[in-house]
Structure 1
Amino acid sequence: MIGVRSAERSATDGSAAGVRAGAGVWLVFAATLLAGTMAGFFWSFSIVVMPGLAALDPLDAMAAMQAINAAVRNAVFGLVFAGAIVSCLAVLVLAAIHRRGAWSWLALAGAAVYVAGAAGTTVGFNVPLNRMLEPLDPRLAENAPVMLGYLEDWTRWNHVRTLASLAAFILFSAALVAAATGRGGRASGR
């Protein structure tokens, strides 16, 4: 992976390094967009959805969250969620292999933060909490305390993945700026 200016020069000569460089820049750009999209998605839950559910009767909130969890299982969300993880894993590998300049370290950090902080938190905490909630009957009063605990725990972990996604977006953006301005050091696709 190389800087944007070098990638543009190399890509015009058709060299393999130029093709790899251009692909690497686009990969970091894709990871930036996808991490930013997920940051916005998670952020909306932290500041709107979960406080709104907390204002409801716990059993009404349970029924609403079960409906949200069912609705989020769709192709568009799946593509963005999985795309963010895959693009970050690819950036992680490429940046680890081609550690040349500040831009690659920024990209490496962004990918690591996203994979551990956003994807890891989702898979390790939010999804298991959702699975625990799924079979519960929102008509049974004894499930109200479970929902209150769920709201607290799920929201806390959502804040973690929101901040991780936002941090990854900022780090990826800084990497792109460093690569584009040549301030990230000389990078090479070789």
Structure 2
Amino acid sequence: MKHLTYGMILLSLTLSAAIFGFFYAWVCSTMWGLDAADPRVAISAMQAMNASVRNAVFAPAFFGTPVALGAAAGLLLMRGHLRSAAAFAVGAGVYLCFGLVLTMMVNVPMNEALAMVAVPADVESAGVIWREYSGPWQVWNQIRTVASGAAFLLALSGVMMVGRERV
């Protein structure tokens, strides 16, 4: 049981750090680069990236993070590590609500709407489309970035508490 618990802790830290890094990269490079590009290129590039992100490499971090955090919380609870379990459970809830569900309810519909757009030939029309998409998309992405970072930090604090709790 101890090895399973530590394995799940390691998996949850890895997945939560991976998804935080993924969202963070969009904040500090990808979207800034697209905003600086010709909007026709930005629209086409974003359409291509959104189409490619649904893959077996991305799925474990995106979908597995709340599962791994929740499983670690359950295993820690069964071993009597109440505060550690609570940190992992809160991390799971934060990511589930403000990472995964937010993405599915807000960012994915925005991406699907952009996928239906035919890239205009003129820069001005493309610029309007891109600005209407990019600004709101980035606000929601920043929220899920902060949430996934918070989930990782909560899990990390749970790890730090494991050694201090008396069982």
Q: Shorter chain as normaliser: what TM range?
A: 0.7 to 0.9
Matched, 1:152 2:152: no
- If you compute each CA radius of gyration, which structure gives the higher value, 1 or 2? 1
What are the within-5 Å matches in structure 2 for residues 118-137 of structure 1?
118-137=99-118
The SS at the match of 1:137 is: coil
Write the distance in 1 (CA, Å) between the matches of 2:126 and 2:74.
Answer: 44
Q: How many residues align?
A: 165
Shift of 1:185: 4.1
Q: TM-score, structure 1 length as denominator?
A: 0.77
Matches within 5 A, 1:162-173: 162-173=145-156
Secondary structure of the 1:75 match is coil
- Identical residues among aligned pairs (%): 31
Instruction: Give the Cα–Cα distance (whole angstroms) in 2 for the partners of residues 72 and 178 of structure 1.
Output: 35
**Which runs of 5 or more residues in structure 2 are unaligned?**
none
Residues in 2 aligned to 1:89 and 1:101: alpha-carbon distance in whole angstroms: 13
TM-score by length of 2: 0.87
Q: In terms of mean alpha carbon deviation, does 55-64 or 155-164 score higher?
A: 55-64
| Cα-Cα RMSD | 2.2
2:104 match: secondary structure:
helix
Counterpart position of 1:49: 30
- Please tell me the residue identity of whatever aligns with 1:26: G
Taking a change above 3 Å as real, the CA distance of residues 105 and 94 of structure 1, as seen in their structure-2 partners, is: same
Contact 2:110–2:137 under 8 Å retained in 1: yes
Matched, 1:110 2:94: no
Counterpart secondary structure, 2:58: helix
